[in-house]
Structure formats: structure tokens, C-alpha cells
Amino acid sequence: MTPAMPSDFPIELRPVSALKIRPGLNQRVHSVLLKSLYFIILLFISLGFSGDLFAIHAIFKGEIPIPRTHGPVHLNMAIDPFLKSKTGTEVPTAIGQFFDEHRFELNPALFPAKVVQVLADFYKGRLFRIEINYKPLSRKSLEIETLITRNTKDFGPPRVNVLPGTRLIFWDDGATRMILQIDEADDLLEHSLTYIDNDLFHAASRDRVQRETGGRSSYGK
């Protein structure tokens, strides 16, 4: 990545709270720390650039929109009906979460059998991020490559970022961003799909930068 080009830094690479750390997997922890670093770099870059916040990431529309409903939740849903559904349990605040963010872990039994964990993040009472973690696969498995091919056909060409031990593949239709994260762990491939509401995420990012700079940044203006 080139620090002089803000578009090279995916804005959704938030701090550590955006990612799941599995105990005992040093490579995963290394990946988390790298992503936290990239967010910090992005934050400093953003302070020096004016212009439209929405212009810092690429959008390639495919044949169909990226899905926003997953199991019992959907992006932009209000937190009150979610709480009444009793489908998730709030987890403790993690380092790097937004000021008004609440994270819930959902019951994986409400999702397909391959799912092992689902996280739902709300910002100011609206669901802006859904992370779905799947059972690890053998490195010899072609399932992930098949998924990439299918997603590219449906949602358009992705953007790819490669970190040590980690691949991040992004699809974006303007309203929703989908991220396939692939982590190498011994002889296995761990992977997750994360879905982000662009408007809510950009609002949260803008609010955070304005709060942390005392309103001096032109970020998002």
C-alpha cells in the first residue's frame, strides 16, 4: 500500500474491535495488530485531506446488490426490535470501538451449519456491521476460491489487500461493503465475511475523527 493514496487504505479496517482474535493463533493476532496500524495511518491521512468522505473507496457494481439481511438481522435495523428478539448477547466493550457502539454476539444456531460465530455492531442504535465467522477449511480446499469467483460474478470485480498471512477482498455496491477475510493458520484457512452499511460507517468514522480532533479536521466535510 502507498501512504500517499488514501484510496489504498480501506476505511473499514477499524481498530482491533473490528476483528475476532482466536486464542492461541499467533498469526491471527499479528493480522489484528497490522490492521489496527493501518487504521491509525488512515486516521492521520484523513486529517490532511479535504473532500468527500465517500470518495476514498472504490465502488464496482455487479449484477445484484450485496445482501444486507443475514439470519435474523439486517443492516440499518434499529436496536430496540433486535433487543426484543433476544437473538444476541452484548459483549464487553473492546479496544477501538466507536464511542456510541454496542457489540452483540448472536446465536450461531440461527445461521447455516458452517457458521461458528456472528457479531453484530450497532452505532447510535443502528446496525452498521455484521461479521460472520466460518469453520476453518483445509488449505487444499477450493471452497474459498469458488466463493470469490461467485461473488465477483454477482457483485463485480473486487479490490484485494494482502497482509502477512492475511488476504482481504472487498466488494462494494455503494450502499454496502462486503469483506472476505482469509487468514492462514497452520494447515488451515480461517475465513469470515463482514457486511458494512456504508452510510452508517462513514457517519461513525466522521464523528470519531471530529471528536478526536476537536472538530478541526475537514474529514468528511
Give the start-to-end residue ranges of the domains of the chain. Answer: 6-212
CA–CA dist 158, 62 (Å, integer): 10
The partner residues of 92 in beta bridges, in order of sequence, read none
CA–CA dist 188, 205 (Å, integer): 34
Q: What is the pTM of this model?
A: 0.75
Furthest C-alpha separation in the chain: 51
- Tell me the pLDDT of the chain (221 aa) as tens digits: 322 223 333 334 443 334 444 433 444 444 444 444 444 434 443 334 333 333 345 566 667 999 999 999 999 999 999 999 999 999 987 766 788 889 999 999 999 999 999 999 999 999 999 999 999 999 999 999 999 999 999 999 999 999 999 999 999 999 999 999 999 988 999 999 999 999 999 998 888 887 767 666 555 55
Q: Are strands 137-138 and 159-163 parallel, antiparallel or unpaired?
A: unpaired
